[in-house]
Structure 1
Amino acid sequence: MSIEKMALVGTGVMGMGIAQIAAQAGLEVRLFDVQQGAAQAGLDKLKKTLEKLVAKGKITQADYDNTIARFVVLDNIEQIAGVDLVVEAIIENLEIKQKLFKQLEQIVSEQTILVSNTSSLVVTEIAASCQHKSRIAGFHFFNPVPLMKIVEVVKGLFTSDEVVDELLKLAERMGHFGVKTKDTPGFLVNHAGRAFGTESLKILGEGVATVSEMDRILREAAGFKMGPFELYDLTGLDVSHRVMESIFNQYYQEDRYRPNTLTRLMLSANTVGKKVGEGFYKYDQDTRLNQEPPQLVPQVSEFKPVWIAADYESDAEILKQYVLSQGVVLDNAETPAADSLIILATYGEDTTTASQRLNVDAKRAVNIDMLTDFNKHRVLMPSIVTEQVYVDQAHALFAANDHGVSVIEESVGFVCQRVVPMIINLACDIAQQGIATASDIDKAVRLGLGYPYGPITWGNVLGPDRILLILDRIYAITGDQRYRPSPWLQRRAKLKVDLLHSVNKVSA
């Protein structure tokens, strides 16, 4: 079948965004809302939006006229009859959605596809009491719909392949990437996004770094557009914390999705983010009032010799060349001299553990994170007994030429070493579960979350062996199930197989 006529039930911001791209793609769009006058108000608001696009030269007047001509505002839901597709975009309430879908079945033909824009409910449950379950699917867009070029096509247990194919074609026609996903909690994008925030909250709770410093590290070292706490403040904990709890509970308290008590406390206090003027930061309109400046670089007049040990020879070579370029003496002995600054470059462990494993003096040891690009923001981790003179030496050495440096408290792995591998590991689990293909996971996450790389590709860029080493060590040290490496990742890392190569089989 070809979808040419669509009805939208629920004309809020999300619904009207869907209606806009559908009409711009040439579909006739019928608008209905149970609230009297809401559908017309939604259309009037859309007209103003499109008028602004005409004024900016983004669309022509003819585009505007043709798009608006495709809308029909309905007086009652019975007028939906005769459409090829109904998109539901109402309140996130299972009982209300189920009632609506049963009502729609009495109005439309058996061939009409019925879809829900739900972001958190189970599509199979929405369809459970319907007569023709095979024509019901999820069609989940992201706000703002015209700009977020992705839609999840959710295949419930009963959804036919033909319906999924039609929705994927429609997504492409609308100018969006349609990604086919299983009907699982969080579907694909919200599921894949769990690791970024939850692991950052755990690191914050351990006192490893401040809110400002963690945001700075993850922006400048890892390349995220926003730090996790900036993002929480933007979206609001009234939304984010409830999503964390929902997915955690829907997965029967799976440790990977464990929420944090801090955000529950903040939610109780209504310090939910920018919308109320206070969250992780305090705000005066768009100005953050308590964002900390970069750490001050200590003044060091004379540097001690530097002894280097690293898990990877390539990291050691980068560090040695850098130290020499700064005119500092290298200690090349097998064991460090009595007063040398000991620089370690290890993965997935704290400096105490690394010092003991390498049999060096923890009082002179400072670890440096080499997971991300050394030429970006640098992160240092002394042990709990490292003498301040050695911390200052390392800080000043790596901050030369105004380079950004963060010194953090001891952690089992650095900030980036914990957050980024957890993102990659979770994506590997999603691939293992067959929720989507590895390539689709990559594209969907980049479009939906704006990460620097798709998570599977990111694993290739950083090295699957490094990611597995980090996870193995953190899991061994902490015993926390959230860090257990995905079998999907383990197999590929051990066999040195590219993470995107031949991975579309569910059994892989």
Structure 2
Amino acid sequence: MRDATGTVAVVGTGTMGQGIAQVALLAGHTVRLHDVAPDRAAQAAEAVLGRLDRLVDKGRLDAEERAAAAARLHAHTGPDGVGDLADADVVVEAILEDLGAKQQLFTALEQVVSDETLLATNTSSLSVTAIAAALRLPGRFVGLHFFNPAPLLPLVEVVSGHATDEAAAERAVKLATTWGKTPVRCADTPGFIVNRVARPFYAEAFRVYEERAADPATIDAVLRESGGFRMGPFELTDLIGQDVNESVTRSVWESFFQDVKFTPSLAQRRLVQSGRLGRKTGHGWYDHTPGASRPEPHTARPCPAPEYAVLHGGLGPAAALPAMATEAGIPLRTPEASAAAEPTTTGATTPGDTTRHGCLELPGGALLRLADGSQPRGREIHFDLALDYRTATRVALAPADAASVADLAEATGFFQALGKAVSVVEPVPGMIVARTVAMLADFAADTVGRGVAGAGDVDTAMRLGVNYPVGPLRWCDDLGADWVADVLHHLHREYPTGRYAPGRALLRRKGAES
């Protein structure tokens, strides 16, 4: 910017264009809204002013500020060009996601704006490098990827294309900061940070569903109430739109030359093909028609708490459980004390249970073990990962085929005694939260390892862009990269396609912990 309140042009007057215009307007800029369609820019300007009126009504903006903002907002219709934008210090484009259309627009803009004007695209799926390739001065071109709704969500991804000058990127960061946003820097890569790293959040849930391990309502509930995510992937994609979410997934997959780690979901594809796109069509994973009831997650009936449990070694990320069990009135025994007290009943009862390290043994002989990416075997009952076992309100259990009804009842009663709702799912490797978090950590580490973005920016982007409870790299550090890598190694053995093979960046992170 040549001055703190220079002119910002916003080209494209849809939802994102209007939101970006509102942000710039409230930051004190003169704003020029441009659209090629007759009357579209004027209608968008009226919509922006209507939002400002609502802010005044809520007491978040005073009437004088609203009047001053209205005086700085100008609508322009330019079917024959963008000459009215010649005085712009910054141009932000938010038109349709079409490479040719964007290149044509910016080529036209270069004919009228100053060589010092910062040119930015709000694209979420196209290459910033490719758009800039048509420009005379590609060094002043950046990606400014806002999240919808732009006035409310704080994150802006500042994307440097192959030819972007560092000065232009720094200028974009400063601009976003003066607008009250939190900018993160990244290189031009498919999906940038958020849409790249977030793919497993959807993909793993859909995979669990496709394997018929659990229904959407149960998977959503486990990820919310155990994993700490604000929304589950089924309800979130219904909100976003199944077509929109699937399009992003497919775009990233194709941009990475159909890398198996990014493979789209066939179940979601069928949903899109059926026209069930989510809330906007009344049906998606859920029924959103008026009066439709929301399906309840599977929740086990009350079971009595076990008389005691035997602790075999440490429980890793579930280390809080022994103290919680003691507080809930379930005595914990050492293996030696248990053998002396119950010599005829203690111990694994199948040949497959040759080691009991890292588990809780129940009175009947079943072994409660934290999901580690392997298929539960013998009389094992795996329990899912939780963000915080003390605050989690739900825990998922996956019994091995040899586990009895009585075994499952004891395991259920154990967690119910700790105050948790229990969802029983089919025995799928990695369960729900554990496999999702492990994959998110791997994707995040890979993003940093390939120089796309710094670790702090990746974690910030995922917390602010998609409301994750913890940044995936911080989560990885809390769990231990060795634990995360082991989960992925086990998953890779169960599904030897390459999808779950831990990346080099995660393995290096694991090595650094040694």
Q: Same fold (TM over 0.5)?
A: yes
Question: 1:45 Cα shift?
Answer: 1.0
1:433 equivalenced with 2:443 (yes/no): no
Question: Which residue in 1 is equivalent to 2:431?
Answer: 414
Question: Which residue in 1 is equivalent to 2:32?
Answer: 30
On the 8 A contact 2:328/2:417 being kept in 1, the answer is no
Counterpart AA for 1:296: A
1:344 equivalenced with 2:371 (yes/no): no
On the 8 A contact 1:442/1:455 being kept in 2, the answer is yes
Q: Give the Cα separation in 1 of the matches to 2:306 and 2:364.
A: 9
On the 8 A contact 2:124/2:191 being kept in 1, the answer is yes
Distance 1:143 1:263, change over 3 A: same
Question: Which residue in 1 is equivalent to 2:388?
Answer: 373
Deviations 1:206-241 (A, max 9, x none): 122111111110000010000110101111111111
Equivalent positions of 1:126-137 (< 5 A) are 126-137=131-142
Structure 2 counterpart of 1:291, from 295, 313, 316: 295
Question: 1:290 Cα shift?
Answer: 4.4
Q: Give the Cα separation in 2 of the matches to 1:315 and 1:78.
A: 63
Question: 1:31 Cα shift?
Answer: 1.5
On the 8 A contact 1:297/1:396 being kept in 2, the answer is no
Deviations 1:324-379 (A, max 9, x none): 844568583566176723223244244544xxxxxxxx2x4322235542332222
On the 8 A contact 2:396/2:422 being kept in 1, the answer is yes
Q: Give the Cα separation in 2 of the matches to 1:236 and 1:127.
A: 29
Of 395-404 and 315-324, deviating more is 315-324
Identity of aligned residues (%): 34
Question: 1:309 Cα shift?
Answer: 4.1
Distance 1:476 1:296, change over 3 A: closer
Question: Which residue in 1 is equivalent to 2:315?
Answer: 312
Task: Name the SS of the counterpart of 1:108 in structure 2.
Answer: coil
Of 96-105 and 369-378, deviating more is 369-378
User: Which 4+ runs in 1 deviate beyond 6 A?
Assistant: none
On the 8 A contact 1:119/1:186 being kept in 2, the answer is yes
Question: 1:149 Cα shift?
Answer: 0.8
Structure 2 counterpart of 1:394, from 411, 422, 439: 411
Task: Name the SS of the counterpart of 2:484 in structure 1.
Answer: helix
Distance 1:378 1:341, change over 3 A: farther
Distance 1:331 1:382, change over 3 A: farther
Q: Give the Cα separation in 2 of the matches to 1:52 and 1:317.
A: 47
Task: Name the SS of the counterpart of 1:180 in structure 2.
Answer: strand
Distance 1:350 1:496, change over 3 A: closer
Task: Name the SS of the counterpart of 1:74 in structure 2.
Answer: strand
Question: 1:314 Cα shift?
Answer: 7.9
Deviations 1:233-281 (A, max 9, x none): 1111111111111110000011221111101111110111111111111
Q: Give the Cα separation in 1 of the matches to 2:41 and 2:324.
A: 65
On the 8 A contact 2:226/2:386 being kept in 1, the answer is no
Distance 1:253 1:313, change over 3 A: closer
Question: 1:496 Cα shift?
Answer: 1.4
Task: Name the SS of the counterpart of 1:378 in structure 2.
Answer: strand
Of 68-77 and 327-336, deviating more is 327-336
Deviations 1:59-78 (A, max 9, x none): 11121112111112224321
Question: Which residue in 1 is equivalent to 2:162?
Answer: 157
Question: 1:397 Cα shift?
Answer: 2.7
On the 8 A contact 1:309/1:344 being kept in 2, the answer is no
Counterpart AA for 1:340: G
- Give the TM-score normalised by structure 2: 0.89
Counterpart AA for 2:434: Q
Counterpart AA for 1:382: P
Of 1-10 and 306-315, deviating more is 306-315
1:55 equivalenced with 2:52 (yes/no): no
Distance 1:479 1:457, change over 3 A: same
Deviations 1:441-486 (A, max 9, x none): 1111111010001111111222222212211221233223121212
Structure 2: any 5+ residue segments left out of the alignment? 340-345, 350-362
1:95 equivalenced with 2:119 (yes/no): no
Deviations 1:139-171 (A, max 9, x none): 111110011111111111111111111111100
Equivalent positions of 1:9-158 (< 5 A) are 9-76=11-78, 77-158=82-163
On the 8 A contact 2:397/2:422 being kept in 1, the answer is yes
On the 8 A contact 1:446/1:452 being kept in 2, the answer is yes
Q: Give the Cα separation in 2 of the matches to 1:198 and 1:288.
A: 27
On the 8 A contact 1:152/1:178 being kept in 2, the answer is yes
On the 8 A contact 2:190/2:255 being kept in 1, the answer is yes
Task: Name the SS of the counterpart of 2:453 in structure 1.
Answer: coil
Task: Name the SS of the counterpart of 1:456 in structure 2.
Answer: helix
Q: Count residues with an aligned counterpart.
A: 486
Q: Give the Cα separation in 1 of the matches to 2:324 and 2:51.
A: 55
Deviations 1:164-201 (A, max 9, x none): 11111100110001111111111111112111001111
Question: Which residue in 1 is equivalent to 2:483?
Answer: 466
CA RMSD of aligned residues (A): 2.3
Question: 1:294 Cα shift?
Answer: 4.3
1:178 equivalenced with 2:180 (yes/no): no
Task: Name the SS of the counterpart of 1:283 in structure 2.
Answer: coil
Task: Name the SS of the counterpart of 1:367 in structure 2.
Answer: strand
Structure 1 counterpart of 2:325, from 299, 322, 339: 322
Counterpart AA for 1:369: D
On the 8 A contact 1:351/1:365 being kept in 2, the answer is no
